[in-house]
Amino acid sequence: MKLDVKTKEHSYDIIIGKGILKNCASYIVNTGKSPAKILIVTDENVAQFYGDTVCESLKTIAEVKLVVLPAGETTKSLGYLSDLYDEAFSFGMTRTDLAVALGGGVIGDLTGFFASTVLRGIDVVQIPTTLLSQVDSSVGGKTAIDVSWGKNLVGTFYQPSLVIADTATLDTLPDEEFSSGLAEVIKYGCIWDKDFFDKINSAADRKGLMKIIDEIVYTCCDIKRQVVEQDELDTALRMILNFGHTAGHIVEKAYNYTGYTHGEAVAFGMIIAARLGERLGITEEGTTKRIEETIKKFQLPYDIKITHEALSGITLDKKTSGNSISVILLDKIGKFNMHKMSTTEYVELLKEIW
C-alpha cells in the first residue's frame, strides 16, 4: 500500500505493508537518492530485532553506520542530539548523505531534528516500528527534542524523503506500547471519521486489531496526509491533530516523562477534552462516556491525578498565543471543533473537571 504526501515544496511516499523492511534499500533507491553514507539511528530495544535486517539491506547501496541509543523519552534530548552530531562528523557525512530513523516516536523526532540541522539539512528516511510512530509521528515532518521547560519545545518542520512502515514490526511490541499507539488511532476517529472510530471499537482486542492493521495504519496516515497537505506548518487545520495532546503534555511533564507514555497521556487527554467540550456546551452529550469506554476497553488510563500547580505549565504549550490558547474539542465523534479561549479560563476549568 502506498500514499503520496504532497506539501508545498516537497513530496514523498509512505510505503505500508507486512515484511517490507528487508526491501528498504530498494525503496530508497526508487526515490532517486544515491547517498555514499547512511547513518542509521535506533534504540536498544529495536536494534536487537531489526538492526541487522536494515543494515544488511542498506549496505547494498552505501556505507552504513549504526548508532544505538537508550530507549525512552529521555533520549530525546540535547545531550543525545550532540552525540549524533559527533557520530555524523566522525563518519565523514556530507550533505548528499542520508539519515535513517529506525524506531518509535522518540527516535523519529530526534533523528528528524538532527537531519534538519546537521550540515544545514540532509535527507532523512523514517522507518517507524511502533504503532504510534506508524500512524502519526513519522508522517508530517514535525521534529523535536524535549528541554527542561517542556516537551517538544525545540524543533523544526522537516519532511522526510520516505516513510517505510512495516506492520510486521508491531508483532514484537509489548502490549503497553501497542495500547499507547492505539490512543493516536482513536484520536483520528474522534476528530475525523466516526465510521473508523466504530471500526476500531468493533475489534475485541489487540488480536482483532492486528487482522486489519494495514488498513488502520493506511487510514490514519491518509487522514494526516490530507491535513498536512493543507497546513504543513501547523498554523490552522493541522492543530486538530493535537486533540488530547494539551492535557496529555501536562501529564507527561507532571510525571517527568517517565510515569506515563505519550499515548497513555494523550488517551486521558482526550477524555479531558471531551469533558471540557461538554462543560462548555460545545460537545454532544454522552461523547465523554463513549470515548472513556473505548479508552478503558483497550487498557489505557482513564483517571490520572496531578496537582493544580502542574497546570501552570500550559503557558509554555505551543498552542498558546499571548494570553489565549487554541483548544481542540469535538462537536461530536468524527467532527472536530477548534475553540479559542483564555489560558486563565482554560486552567480554571481544568481544575473543575480534572
Same domain, 147 and 180: no
Q: Which pLDDT score is estimated for 309?
A: 81
Same domain, 11 and 24: yes
Q: Which pLDDT score is estimated for 73?
A: 86
Closest by Cα among 190, 218, 221, 210 to 292: 190
**Residue ending a domain, choose from 139, 172, 205:** 172
Closest by Cα among 21, 40, 32 to 99: 40
SS3 201: helix
Q: Which pLDDT score is estimated for 318?
A: 55
The crossing angle, in degrees rounded to 10, of helices 175-191 and 213-230 is 50
Q: Which pLDDT score is estimated for 313?
A: 64
Same domain, 21 and 116: yes
Residue 14 — φ and ψ, nearest 5°? -115, 115
Same domain, 145 and 13: yes
Same domain, 336 and 242: yes
For 89-93, the CB contacts below 8 A with 24+ separation are 91/37, 91/39, 91/65, 92/37, 93/37, 93/39, 93/118, 93/119, 93/122
Same domain, 349 and 200: yes
CATH classification of the domain holding 155: 3.40.50.1970
Mode of pairing for the β-strands spanning 324-332 and 320-321: antiparallel
**Residue ending a domain, choose from 112, 146, 172:** 172
Same domain, 144 and 59: yes
DSSP secondary structure letter of residue 282: -
Same domain, 154 and 202: no
- Total domains in the chain come to 2
Q: Which pLDDT score is estimated for 234?
A: 79
161, 112 in Cβ contact below 8 A? no
Distance of CA 238 to the CA centre of its chain: 13
Same domain, 252 and 308: yes
Closest by Cα among 200, 193, 190, 345 to 280: 345
Residue recorded with cell 507514555: 261
Same domain, 223 and 151: no
Cα–Cα dist 115/235, whole Å: 23
| Full domain range(s) for residue 224 | 175-353
Residues with Cβ within 8 Å of 71's Cβ and at least 6 positions away in sequence, in order, are 43, 44, 45, 46, 106
Same domain, 167 and 183: no
**Residue ending a domain, choose from 140, 172, 204:** 172
Q: What is the pLDDT along the chain (354 residues), one digit of tens a residue?
A: 999 898 887 899 999 999 999 999 999 999 888 899 999 999 999 999 999 999 999 999 999 999 999 998 889 999 999 999 999 999 999 999 999 999 999 999 999 999 999 999 999 999 999 999 999 889 988 999 988 887 888 999 999 999 999 999 999 999 999 999 999 999 999 999 999 999 999 998 999 999 999 999 999 999 999 999 998 887 789 899 999 999 998 998 888 888 898 899 999 999 999 999 999 999 999 999 999 999 999 999 999 988 888 887 676 555 666 688 889 999 999 999 999 999 889 999 999 999
Q: For 247, how many CA atoms within 13 A lie in the half-sphere containing its CB?
A: 31
Same domain, 92 and 208: no
CATH classification of the domain holding 193: 1.20.1090.10
